[in-house]
Structure 1
Amino acid sequence: NHLGSDGTRLWDETDNFYYDVLHQPDKEDIHIKIRSIVGLIPLFAVAIIDSETLQRLPKFQKRVKWFMANRIDLSANIACMEACGIDSERLLAIVSPERLRIILEKMLDENEFFSDYGIRSLSHFHTENPYIFNANGEEYRVDYEPAESTSQMFGGNSNWRGPIWFPINHLMIESLQRFHNYLGEDFRVECPTGSGRMMNLWEVSLEIEARLIKIFLKDKDGKCPVYGDTEIFQNNSYWQDLILFYEYFHGDNGAGLGASHQTGWTGLVAKLIQQRSEYVCEI
């Protein structure tokens, strides 16, 4: 929320979003107003301390009280440490519940981050509204690119300007579930934004899971999004059931991109399937 002793703010009060800040020597700081996962990652900084744990740590409680009373300059960046949750938990988070609600409006907007196949790494907003920055007579721009990068930067075979990445989505799911454990059933947001459907944060996390899992499931036409237009994987009986765990996925149609044997982070889909099977019946 605040960076360093000069009070630089990553939170933009006009756009209600977190942005990178360019610190210029002897000049004002500039918010780099790109709607990317940079603005979503602050949600990952969340932990819940239950009442039983706090009771076992009286010295920790004493230090927390001192910190909240004497370091207001720092404690202002931590949400709700003093307020109790639904079961007397305490919340340690960068993002307050009020800001969480505002950020989720953009994240769960299908015209921004919320693809049919998960959370995009860059908002679809930048399709028609590229971010343009001019420096030293040169123009730099960031467009929404849902597939492979159109730039050779970082080798060209990696793209964080639109595609869906499993590690980021998985961390978002776990963060929303932690927030739910503190905020409870009554904290509800519209999902997707503009749909009129209100969900608690656990239900939102399951909706994200469902969209990620859908990448690997056949649709009504018998096509599997992960294989895109690759005919042999879609239709050949010897290949169509051999699932590949791609590095990242097309932000609009879910097709697999990058390395095709990324059984590390993309293998997280197995955990999502397991968790969804355990909890979806409660929705």
Structure 2
Amino acid sequence: MTAATLEQLPWFAEHFEWFLAHKPRYASHVAHSATTGDHHRHLLSIVDPDRLRRVLEVMLDEEEFLSPHGLRALAASHREHPFTLHLDGITASVDYEPGESTTAIFGGNSNWRGPVWFPVNYLLIESLHRFGEYLGDDFTVECPTRSGTLMSLHQVADDLTRRLVSIFLDDKDGRRPVFGDAERFQSDPLLHNLVPFHEYFHGDTAKGLGASHQTGWTGLVADLVARRCADGVPCIDASADQAAPAAAATRPSTSSGAPTPSTTTTIPASS
């Protein structure tokens, strides 16, 4: 938040100042301020910059949460090392399941223990941009972890956007990850450009899973594509996605003006 933002929210600003003055024990953990030149900014977050760096170290690890097509709902390391709880003679465990659920106990085929889900990824991209506005481009992290490549938080958000959009684009072999092993959709020119918005996506391959008409949240990809277009990145150019992430950091827009997608959208195959 900037001073200009607080001026537009007098009720919030009053309570914010009261909180800082009367609850220093808690404020020190969630309220942070920074001044750059003439600009004074405030950050309200339970994660301070040091903790954020530690969180991102795991989140951006390709052996943990970071997949080629977005962030997994559960770290891939739990594939070999499940979390197990022993309580009152009962043993319960959670392991990494990248595809549809292997048990009906959590609601049939829905699975939050490994796949890529758009709502969480979208919110994380938004949060990274917010942190980037506060911390600036001098705050960098390795992305992916142990790659030696340093990125600002805006660049990390852009890289996650690139990975999510790539779910629906042709790869170097002319195959769309969303179709997985559905050969008819991969090879039939009449079907290949009819792209559905699945409920969630395989944590390793990005194959579309669950309901194939989840436009409510997977349709958020339209906003991500629109932002890329606004930043000068070819909207549906797969070659741009296969190249290294752009070096220039981008800034989020509060409203993209992207159209609401239909259940099935036609996306031309990239050349």
The bucket for the TM-score relative to the shorter chain is: 0.7 to 0.9
Deviation at 1:128, TM superposition (A): 1.2
Match of 2:164 among 212, 225, 244: 212
**Corresponding residue number in structure 1 for 2:85:** 133
The answer to whether the 8 A contact 1:85-1:183 is kept is: no
CA contact (8 A) 1:179 1:201 kept: yes
Q: Would you say 1:268 and 2:268 are equivalent positions?
A: no
Residue matched to 1:234: 186
Query: Counterpart of 2:98?
Result: 146
Give the gaps of 5 or more residues in structure 2. 234-245, 250-271
Q: Which residue of 2 aligns with 1:50?
A: 2
Residue 107 of structure 2: aligned partner: 155
CA distance in 2, matches of 1:171, 1:60: 23
Deviation, structure 1 residue 263: 1.3
- 1:12-23 equivalences in 2 (<5 Å): none
- Which residue does 2:242 correspond to in 1? none
Cα distance in 2 between the residues matched to 1:128 and 1:115: 17
Q: Deviations over 1:127-169 (max 9, x none)?
A: 1110000112111000000001111123321000000000110
- Show the counterpart of 1:196: 148
Aligned match for 1:246, one of 198, 201, 207: 198
**Residues 38-88 of structure 1: per-residue CA shift (max 9 Å, x gap):** xxxxxxxxxxx21123345667555433322321343244131x4446731
Residue identity (%): 51
- Matched to 2:158, the amino acid is L
Q: 1:229 to 1:62 in 2, by over 3 A?
A: closer
- Structure 2 counterpart of 1:259, from 211, 216, 222: 211
Q: TM-score, normalized by length of structure 1?
A: 0.78
Contact 1:85 1:91 in 2 (8 A): no
On the 8 A contact 1:85/1:182 being kept in 2, the answer is: no
| 1:171 partnered with 2:123 | yes
Note the 1:66-105 alignment, pairs <5 A.
66-80=18-32, 82-84=33-35, 87-105=39-57
Aligned residues: 234
1:216 maps to amino acid: F
Deviations 1:221-245 (A, max 9, x none): 1111000001111111221111010
Distance change >3 Å, CA 59–CA 116, structure 1 → 2: closer
Would you say the 8 A contact 2:31–2:42 is kept in 1?
Answer: no
Q: Structure 2: which amino acid aligns with 1:74? A: Y
Instruction: Name the CA distance, whole Å, in 1 between partners of 2:110 and 2:30.
Output: 34
Give the unaligned 5+ runs of structure 1: 1-48
Let me know the Cα RMSD of the aligned residues: 1.8
TM-score in terms of structure 2 length = 0.81
